[in-house]
């Protein structure tokens, strides 16, 4: 069944910490060993043993078109025929920058980097440099990558590994970062009343996807905007996951809130390593070499990654793309809710665009504490049994799951049949 993956994992364990190049992939939160994937097509993954799965991880967000979309493959092959990396400006970088600026009204200038972590780390440095302040406020359960000053009570991998922050993060860095509950304006107001004049930035996932899916409560994002205006802090929307996922212009266009800086990743690389941060020229022009705030990257704006990102955004910008994806996503959610109800299983679900969340609790789940108090053992059983039925979910309760344009009626039917069987067995 999984012999080839097991052999590969044994070898990997001798060579790579935990046998994986990113902790959550080790599946430690749900037990079992990771499957090694050999190829993918559309909404399907094929593991090293040839097993086929319907994929709801989508490489943790980038694969909104599905795997190996013809337009992305063609763009990559075209770029590859001309070279792989020049360490010099290319027309492709200008084209992708133009597409991001055109898509996101709050962005006048954008800098390409190589990961979401680089994007948020750089945006934080810019906010600190532009304000001359040091403090950062983030939210429990939100994950912004693994930059030292943001690895504090993070969600995603850190939450699953139950590490608040991480060894190796200097105490002094922790002193500059405050983490408060998501969706809780009164607590934030207290912190800002006491420290607001020292706060360089408030950074938030406008739709949280690293504690499972937790949508912003009504007025929450506007409250952050108002507080940043009141205290002169920079509002950073970490749209690494939500950017071009929940809407073409990201969560900020969906909720009508204008951040000062935005971070992107995942989808804008079309499956290749890309991150980006952007905002008003008045801020972005303070970044080197235009300004004094340093940030750099050997492979930033890599032509292959730019080509994949451009091809992806071209597909996303086509009329009706998001409406069709939302329809499929809602169908899936309705089916999951129906299957749970039929089995008498208490679940709390939510959907923003094609980002979905399911907790084993009657809910509601408004923050990380709520998420942590859901039935994690039941999630583990659900995960393992869905995997055994060929449905590939994120191996952690503290992740969202994603629908792509490649998830068709057949895939949904198989998924919901599996869910009905699994919920039924969980109920016994």
Handedness of CA 409, 413, 415, 416 (dihedral sign): positive
CA atoms within 13 A on the CB side of 318: 12
- 117 sits near ligand KE4 (criterion: CB under 6 A): yes
Nearest in space to 59 (alpha carbons), one of 330, 273, 332, 227 = 273
- 240 sits near ligand KE4 (criterion: CB under 6 A): yes
- 149 sits near ligand KE4 (criterion: CB under 6 A): no
Stretch that binds ligand KE4, among 68-76, 102-110, 142-150, 293-301 (CB under 6 A): 142-150
- 143 sits near ligand KE4 (criterion: CB under 6 A): yes
Q: Which of residues 8-27 bind ligand KE4 (CB under 6 A)?
A: 22, 24
- 120 sits near ligand KE4 (criterion: CB under 6 A): yes
Stretch that binds ligand KE4, among 26-34, 143-151, 178-186, 345-353 (CB under 6 A): 143-151
- 265 sits near ligand KE4 (criterion: CB under 6 A): yes
CA 78 to chain centre: 28
User: What whole-number distance in Å separates Cα of residue 203 and Cα of residue 224?
Assistant: 9
Beta bridge partner(s), residue 208: 214
- 130 sits near ligand KE4 (criterion: CB under 6 A): no
331 Cβ contact list (under 8 Å, min separation 6): 412
SS3 199: strand
What's the min distance (Å) between Cβ of 145 and ligand KE4?
3
Write down the residue that tokens 């935005």 correspond to.
262
CB count within 10 Å of CB 412 equals 18
Can you tell me which of 238, 260, 350, 370 binds ligand KE4, judged by CB under 6 A?
Answer: 238
- 302 sits near ligand KE4 (criterion: CB under 6 A): no
- 399 sits near ligand KE4 (criterion: CB under 6 A): yes
- 209 sits near ligand KE4 (criterion: CB under 6 A): yes
User: What whole-number distance in Å separates Cα of residue 402 and Cα of residue 415?
Assistant: 13
The catalytic site residues sit at: 143, 238, 266
Nearer to ligand KE4, 241 or 416 (CB): 241
Q: Total binding residues for ligand KE4 by CB under 6 A?
A: 21
* Counts of helices then strands in the chain (DSSP H, E): 15, 14
- 106 sits near ligand KE4 (criterion: CB under 6 A): no
Two tokens, residue 6 = 């097991």
Q: Which positions touch ligand KE4 (CB under 6 A)?
A: 22, 24, 60, 115-117, 120, 143-145, 156-157, 205, 209-210, 238, 240-241, 265, 275, 399
């Amino acid at each position: 069944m999984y012999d080839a993956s097991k052999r590969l994992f044994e070898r990997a364990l001798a060579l790579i910490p935990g046998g994986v190049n990113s902790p959550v992939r080790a599946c430690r939160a749900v037990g079992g060993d990771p499957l090694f994937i050999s190829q993918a097509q559309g909404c399907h993954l094929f593991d090293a043993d040839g097993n086929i799965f319907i994929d709801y991880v989508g490489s943790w967000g980038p694969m909104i078109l599905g795997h190996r979309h013809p337009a992305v493959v063609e763009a990559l092959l075209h770029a590859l025929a001309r070279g792989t990396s020049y360490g010099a400006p290319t027309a492709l970088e200008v084209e992708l920058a133009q597409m991001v600026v055109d898509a996101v009204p709050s962005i006048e200038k954008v800098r390409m980097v190589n990961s979401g972590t680089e994007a948020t780390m750089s945006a934080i440095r810019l906010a600190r440099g532009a304000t001359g302040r040091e403090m950062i406020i983030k939210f429990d359960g939100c994950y912004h990558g693994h930059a030292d000053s943001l690895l504090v009570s993070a969600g995603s991998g850190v939450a699953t590994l139950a590490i608040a922050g991480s060894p190796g993060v200097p105490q002094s860095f922790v002193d500059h970062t405050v983490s408060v509950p998501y969706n809780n304006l009164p607590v934030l107001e207290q912190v800002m009343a006491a420290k607001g004049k020292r706060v360089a930035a408030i950074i938030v996932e406008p739709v949280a996807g690293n504690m499972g899916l937790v949508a912003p409560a009504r007025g929450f994002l506007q409250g952050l905007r108002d507080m940043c205006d009141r205290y002169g802090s920079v509002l950073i929307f970490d749209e690494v996951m939500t950017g071009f996922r929940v809407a073409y212009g990201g969560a900020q266009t969906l909720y009508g809130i204008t951040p000062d800086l935005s971070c992107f990743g995942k989808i804008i690389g079309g499956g290749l390593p890309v991150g980006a941060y952007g905002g008003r020229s008045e801020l972005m022009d303070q970044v080197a070499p235009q300004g004094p705030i340093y940030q750099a990257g050997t492979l930033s704006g890599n032509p292959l990654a730019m080509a994949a990102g451009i091809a992806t955004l071209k597909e996303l910008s086509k009329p009706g793309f998001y409406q069709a994806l939302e329809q499929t996503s809602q169908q899936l959610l309705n089916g999951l809710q129906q299957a749970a109800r039929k089995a008498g299983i208490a679940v709390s679900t939510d959907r923003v665009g094609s980002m979905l969340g399911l907790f084993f609790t009657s809910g509601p789940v408004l923050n990380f504490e709520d998420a942590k108090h859901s039935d994690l053992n039941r999630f583990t059983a659900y995960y393992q049994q869905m995997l055994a039925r060929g449905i590939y979910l994120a191996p952690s309760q503290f992740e969202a799951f994603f629908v792509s344009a490649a998830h068709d009626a057949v895939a949904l039917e198989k998924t919901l049949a599996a869910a009905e069987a699994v919920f039924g067995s969980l109920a016994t």
